[in-house]
Every structure is written in C-alpha cells, then in structure tokens.
Amino acid sequence: MPTSNPSTQSRIFDSFPERVQSAIIAYANEAELSLDAVITFAIAHFLDPDSVTFDDCLIGLQRDQVELH
C-alpha cells in the first residue's frame, strides 16, 4: 500500500483545529498508534462506519498478546 508524503501528512494534520489535533495526539498516545494511523482510522470510519471502530481498536493490546506467545 502506498504511503503518503510526510509533508502531506503534516499539512493535513496542521489543517485540523487545535482541539482535534489534541484529541488525535491523546488517542495515538493512549493506543500506541502513529498519528497517521489514527487519522486513517478516522477517515475510514467516516467513509464506512462498519469498517473500523475505535472501540474495537486495541492494536497495542493485540501487539502485547502476540509478543507473549
């Protein structure tokens, strides 16, 4: 899958209101995800609410479980 240009990612992130940026950063830190991943999940959920849910997004937990096995 192609990755986006870092300057494009920065422009997209910078275009969000400060409260949205803060929420993205907080969620990314809590879930141990990149900002890009959080934004991607948000866009995917906006386009198709059944595609992903943030409630089910426990990637950090799943990563820990895989490392234990």
Confidence of residue 68 (pLDDT cuts 50, 70, 90): very low
Residue 13 contacts residue 40 (beta carbons within 8 Å): no
How far apart CA 57 and CA 41 sit, in angstroms, is: 9
Show the beta-strand stretches assigned E in 1-69.
Answer: none
Distance between CA atoms of residues 49 and 57, nearest Å: 13
Judge whether 30 lies within some domain.
Answer: yes
- Checking if the pLDDT of 3 tops 80, the result is no
Domain assignment present for 1 = no
In total, how many domains does the chain have? 1
| 26: in domain | yes
Reply yes or no on whether the pLDDT at 63 is more than 80.
Answer: no
Structure tokens at 18: 């400060």
Task: Give the model's pLDDT for residue 24.
Answer: 92
Q: Could you read off the pLDDT of 9-62 as tens digits, one per residue?
A: 788 889 999 999 999 999 999 988 888 888 888 888 888 877 655 555 555 544
Residue 18 maps to a domain: yes
Domain containing residue 54: 6-68
* The pLDDT of residue 2 is above 90: no
